[in-house]
Amino acid sequence: MTHRIVIVGGGAGGLELATLLGNKAGKRGQAEITLVDANMTHLWKPRLHEVAAGVLNADVDELNYVAHAQRHRFKFIMGRMNGLDRQGKEVILEAHVVEGEQILPERRLGYDTLVIAIGSNTNDFGTQGAAEHCIFLDKRSAAETFHRKFLNKYLKANQDPSADPKHCSIAIVGAGATGVELAAELNHSAHELVEYGFDQIKPENLTITIIEAADRVLPVLSEKASAAILRQLNELNIKVLTGEMVTEITADGLHTKSGKFVPAFLKVWSAGIKAPDFLHGIAGLESNRINQLVVKATLQTTRDDDVFAFGDCAQCPRHDADTPVPPRAQSAHQQAKLLAKSLQRRLAGKPLLTFEYQDKGSLISLSKNGSVGNIMGNLSKDFTFEGKLARFMYITLYRMHQFTLHGVFRTLLLILRDRINRRASPTLKLH
């Protein structure tokens, strides 16, 4: 019987793994590769802030799982995992219901090797009012909801004949990559909207405030890189409040522990992550306080060698640090490449490889205004740079993801398509 490898989660890591395995083990008939995801299409998660700001049309940039699976010799099954039967070696998929109609019943999917790569959700740490009043920018639907509300604010203001200046206030909790990049893109969108005639809210009347509990923006980066990012945010007239912990969120704005109140029409929570709740202790597997599955250096779960996990939903040890591998896109990419090799070795009866995280630094996009790069070097040194070079390298990260999925020729075609679209289409998604 052909070995069954089931990968749950079609994010960047899961999709790359399915593609790499399909191109090798699937093509050679060594294994049956199946990818499971709750959606029919894939969108690179680090670009969600661009969807929210309207500078990226997700309908154009999305990848269809069914078509991609056919091209790369693996199967795709639409479904959302909600349980696991380790004894029977079956993944349990919940029923798929649309507008009250059951499209697909609850199903069980058998496996010989299971890989869980379902990513993470936003963690609001139980903050009062966050779930009710904030948009959690961790899914495409949430990004599109934000964009619709943002654009509707401009549409409403433009239909108002009053001469009074209109204002729009946006608050973003968390000065990590998502929060900083969203703020910069919104600033850019405000200027673009004026060019399209939405001039009742002037760019200077769009107030964007970032609230961060740590003492600086992007606290995971070096102080030099953090300072460079803060300087550019200040140049864009984006307010940054550091050392401020949000304690309550209402319909009108945010309250902080120090007593500050930040008024906001739109509120985004982008501070902290956690794995989906159903993973906590699932089928007796070891998990941590944020629901991540605890794995060994081989990416196998600690209590079942036939179940692997990687990416944001896994707590993976580091060989050179006491802290686990950070939940970042580069971590998932590195783990997917190693796991593709490891699972092929497993099929051949060879020992598995062990994962060693290589921190290659970070690249932060500040829209067309610029970018900041923080590249890790030898001897524990790091190099910070900004401007056009950083912007080019930031764009290259996405192209590398496309290259892994599509190969050189198709990626070049996609680059050509994007350039044509930029010339033929509006610079913003206006609906």
Strands (E), 213-331: 239-242, 246-249, 253-256, 261-263, 266-269, 273-274, 293-294, 300-301, 304-309, 314-315
Which pLDDT value is given to residue 165? 74
pLDDT > 80? residue 378: no
Pick from 361, 362, 392: nearest CA to 377: 361
- Reported as half-sphere exposure (CB side, CA atoms, 13 A), residue 98 has a value of 5
Whole-structure pTM value = 0.93
177-193 residue pLDDT tens:
999 999 999 999 999 99
Give the rounded percent of residues in the chain with a pLDDT score beyond 90: 78
What confidence tier does 362 reach under pLDDT thresholds 50, 70, 90?
A: confident
Q: What are phi and psi of 25, to 5 degrees?
A: -65, -40
228-241 residue pLDDT tens:
889 999 999 999 99
The mean pLDDT of the chain is: 92
CA distance 180 to 366: 8
- What length does the chain have? 431
- Residues 73 and 35: beta-carbon distance below 8 Å: no
105-127 residue pLDDT tens:
999 999 999 999 999 999 999 99
- Residues 110 and 277: beta-carbon distance below 8 Å: no
CA distance 31 to 114: 13
Q: How far is CA 100 from the centre of its chain?
A: 29
CA distance 66 to 44: 17
What are the structure tokens assigned to 264, written together?
């906001």
- Residues 74 and 34: beta-carbon distance below 8 Å: yes
What confidence tier does 382 reach under pLDDT thresholds 50, 70, 90?
A: low
- Give one DSSP letter per residue of 170-212, joined into a string: EEEE--SHHHHHHHHHHHHHHHHHHHTT--SS-GGGEEEEEEE
What confidence tier does 394 reach under pLDDT thresholds 50, 70, 90?
A: confident
CA distances from 6 to 79, 87, 106, 298, 304 (A): 12, 16, 17, 17, 15
Which pLDDT value is given to residue 223? 87
CA distances from 323 to 36, 73, 237, 273, 287 (A): 30, 37, 36, 16, 16
pLDDT > 80? residue 53: yes
What confidence tier does 377 reach under pLDDT thresholds 50, 70, 90?
A: very low
pLDDT > 70? residue 388: no
pLDDT > 70? residue 331: yes
pLDDT > 70? residue 379: no
pLDDT > 80? residue 35: yes
Structural domains present in the chain:
3-120+275-347 (3.50.50.60), 130-267 (3.50.50.60)
Which pLDDT value is given to residue 375? 57
Question: Which is more confident, 12 or 387?
Answer: 12
Which pLDDT value is given to residue 366? 82
Give the rounded percent of residues in the chain with a pLDDT score beyond 70: 94
CA distances from 88 to 41, 110, 112, 200 (A): 30, 8, 10, 62
pLDDT > 60? residue 383: no
